[in-house]
A and B are shown apart, each in its own frame.
Chain A
Amino acid sequence: MVYIFKQMLVKKSLHSLTGKLILTIGTLMVVGSSIFWYLLFRHQETELIQSSVKYGHSFVEYVIKSNRYGMLTFQQLLIQQTIEAIGSAEGVLRVRIFDSRGKIAYSSDKKDIGTVVDKKAPVCVGCHSAEGTHPKDTPTVLISKDNRDFRVLNIVQPIYNEVACYTSTCHAHPRQQKVLGLVEANLSLAVLDKSIKNQGLAITIYVLVFLFVISVVLCTILWNLVSTPVSLLTRGMEKVAGGDLDYHLDINTKDEIGELAQAFNAMTSDLKKAKNELVEWGNTLEKKVQEKTEAIHRAQAQLIHSEKLASLGRMAAGVAHEINSPLTGIVTFGHLLLKKFPQGSEENEDIQVIIEQANRCSTIIKGLLGFARASAAEKAPVNINDVISHSLNIVKNKADFFNIKIVTNFDDFLSKVRADSSQLQQVFLNLIMNAADAIEGKGTITMSTRNIRDNSGDWVEIEFRDTGPGIDDENLAKIFEPFFTTKPVGKGTGLGLAVSHGIIQEHGGSISVKTKRGEGTSFFIKLPAYKEMP
């Protein structure tokens, strides 16, 4: 109990749920007990007084009846002795008999005899409540206090006239007189007062003991059922708020608090699950954002590249038109002039140089036009193996290829590709010629085809591998840029790979390169596999 109150004080528990409950219930119990105590006490007191009054009446009747004979025979001494004897009994303070004129005829205290009392005297006011009124003929009961603060019961009983009285030979009262006198008895209620006081004390002690026991039981119950679980819940909340989602409340009662604890544990577990999901989602999101960013960067780079190629294509178309006409003049007049000089003459040779250079210009222009053509492809399902074979047929008899070993690893079950075969041939020829240049006419060119499948679908992959010296890192990034070439002036236009890249891209594919210094280079072309309608 002391521990509980200490705890309550420590935790300012008068403001706590338990504190409020204890305070409310305690107050109700104290008030209720007080009312109960008061009512019970009053009831007991009233009951005891009523019994005393009843006893008082019997006592007065007893006094009258004891003196009846003395009165009828008018033996005054007998009457006085009887009154004195009665008055000497324990608890009897005074007994007096008044005659009809208010004079004390007999008294347990002899000094009073002969005294006439006024109508206003306490003994008279019970009947003669106001001056001039006729006396009542009923007994009067008065309770006052003595000098020791004990109650005193004062009973005044009229002595009525009766046949025996007015027919008596002695001093017969007139018949018409109704009341002959009064008997007054003062009885001490000290014993009663003591009893009431003792009973009140006992009731008070019982109530206090009852209150104390109930308070202890109540505090214990509230502490165990409310305060302790609520403290545990609060601690749990603090832990969870602090981020400890593994905290488990160990309350297994079947009541509302138990249900609350279970709900709390379920909530913590849900929170933990949600937090884990969120963290996981955050990680995945970061990864996805990274992937998307990379994809966007790639797409941007490709877009810029495509845009560059497209502008170049448009420019090339215009340039081609403008340049080809003067070239026509140079070639035509060159040829006309050539006929005027015999073969082998210096002039003839000079003119041939002019014509060759003009034709070279024309080749460059045609290369440029590749960009414009890439967007005007005529596509049909084609077998890539066939296209490569045709390309090889064109080059294999050239002198440049005499010392080159050409190896083909074709997949016999290669899917078809929807493509413009002449454009693809242009791309393949370009890669074969580049490979031949890279190995400087001596080495192996291997061409492989295969079906591949990845997340984005089915593809046909073509690999062109050479045994050349490889490509420098600094050049690797630029090889698909227009006009970039490592070939000597006059040998390459720097447009082949750029145009090839444009054509492959226009076919929905991609071209990539892997190279290793001293070991060779592989170009990979990926084209979407054509799905024939069933």
Chain B
Amino acid sequence: MKKGIILVIDDEDIVRTSCSRALTPSGYEVKLAKNGHEGLSIMGGDKIDLVLTDLKMPDMDGIEVLKKIKQDWPGVEVIIITGYQTVDTAVKSIKLGAFDYIEKPFTPDALINAVSKALDHKNKSQQT
């Protein structure tokens, strides 16, 4: 049984692959999208539990993706991946409903830890 379906949205192939390779061995199903639009179309098709999205992307940035997901799929948790975390963007993303943010470069353990916490939170909130 899969622990959860995770959608990774990042314009960088290496980040997507890293996430996939880090999370898959731990029993997560990982779906990948190159940009916000692709990510949202996957959201419309499959049942996604958690979204990992980059903050800075061409066309649609992470904050917009976050807003759209929280608007259309309020039950889905979002973790922001950022290359240069600043206090204000972190605060802004948390205010908009992101569960957490994770700074690049991250270790597989740090990623798994953040993902697991987010999914636990999702499960707990669904039970209540």
Q: What's the nearest-Cβ distance from chain B to residue A436, in Å? A: 26
Q: Can you list, as one digit per residue, whether each of A356-388 has a CB less than 8 Å from chain B (1) or not (0)? A: 001100100100010011001010000000000
Query: Within B13-71, which residues are at the interface with A (CB < 8 Å)?
Result: 14-15, 17-19, 21-22, 56
Tell me which of B15, B86, B109 contacts A335 (CB under 8 A): B109
User: What residues of chain A lie closer than 8 Å to B84, measured between beta carbons?
Assistant: 317, 320-321, 324, 365, 369, 372
Are the CB atoms of A336 and B83 closer together than 8 Å?
A: no
The reply to whether the CB of B73 lies closer than 8 angstroms to some CB of chain A is no
Task: Write the chain A residue with the least CB distance to B102.
Answer: A328
B12 and A325 contact, CB distance less than 8 A = yes
Of the residues A317, A327, A376, contact of B105 by C-beta under 8 Å: A327
Interface size, chain B (Cβ < 8 Å): 23
A422 at the interface (CB under 8 A from B): yes
Query: Within 8 Å CB of A372, what residues of B?
Result: 84, 86
Chain A residues within 8 Å of B106, by CB: 328, 331-332
Total A-B residue contacts, Cβ distance less than 8 Å: 73
| Of the residues A317, A325, A359, A422, contact of B15 by C-beta under 8 Å | A325
| Interface residues of chain A: helix, strand, loop or mixed (majority) | helix
| Distance between B62 CB and nearest chain A CB, rounded to angstroms | 12
Question: Does B117 reach chain A (CB closer than 8 Å)?
Answer: no
Q: Which of B15, B17, B84, B108 gathers the greatest number of chain A CB atoms within 10 Å?
A: B84
Which chain B residue shows the least CB distance to A316? Answer: B84
**Interface pair B88/A336, CB less than 8 Å apart:** no
Q: Report which of B56, B87, B88, B105 forms a contact with A328, defined as CB distance below 8 A.
A: B105
B123 at the A/B interface (Cβ < 8 Å)? no
Total interface residues in chain A, CB < 8 Å: 27
Contacts of B108 in A (CB 8 A): 332, 335-336
B14, B105, B109: the one contacting A362 at CB < 8 Å is B105
Interface presence of A251 (CB below 8 A) = no
Known A-B contacts A332-B108, A335-B108; the reply to A325 vs B83 at CB < 8 A is: yes
From residue A507, how far is it (CB to closest CB) to chain B in Å? 15
A324:B105 contact, CB within 8 angstroms? yes
Is A333 a contact partner of B18 (Cβ separation < 8 A)? Answer: yes
Which of A322, A332, A373, A422 has most B Cβ within 10 Å? Answer: A332
Which of B12, B14, B86, B109 is in CB contact (< 8 Å) with A376?
B86
Assess the B88–A332 pair: CB atoms within 8 A: no
Most A CB atoms within 10 A — which of B17, B87, B104? Answer: B104
A331 engages B105 (CB within 8 Å): yes
* CB closest residue in chain B, given A322: B83
Contacts known (A327-B104, A332-B18, A332-B108); A422 close to B83, Cβ less than 8 A: no
Q: Does A330 contact B (CB under 8 A)?
A: yes
- Verify B14–A326 contact, CB threshold 8 A: yes
* A329 in contact with B86 (CB, 8 Å): no
Residues of A within 8 A of B22 (CB): 332, 335-336
Provide the bound-state CA to CA distance between A372 and B87, in Å: 12
Q: Which residues of B contact A359 (CB under 8 A)?
A: 105
B21 in complex: contacting residue of A317, A324, A336, CB < 8 Å: A336
Complex: A330 Cα to B56 Cα, angstroms = 20
Q: Quick one: which of B19, B87, B104, B107 contacts A324, CB cutoff 8 A?
A: B104
Q: Which residues from B are CB-within-8-Å of A320?
A: 83-84
Q: Which residue of B lies closest to A422 (CB)?
A: B87
C-alpha gap A359/B103 in the complex (Å) = 12
Q: Which residue of A lies closest to B25 (CB)?
A: A336
Q: 7 A-B residue contacts at CB 8 Å?
A: A324-B84, A329-B14, A330-B105, A332-B105, A332-B107, A336-B21, A336-B108
Using CB atoms and an 8 Å cutoff, list the residues of chain A in contact with chain B.
Answer: 317, 320-333, 335-336, 358-359, 362, 365, 369, 372-373, 376, 378, 422
Further 5 A-B residue pairs, CB within 8 A, beyond A332-B19, A332-B108: A320-B83, A322-B83, A325-B12, A329-B17, A422-B87
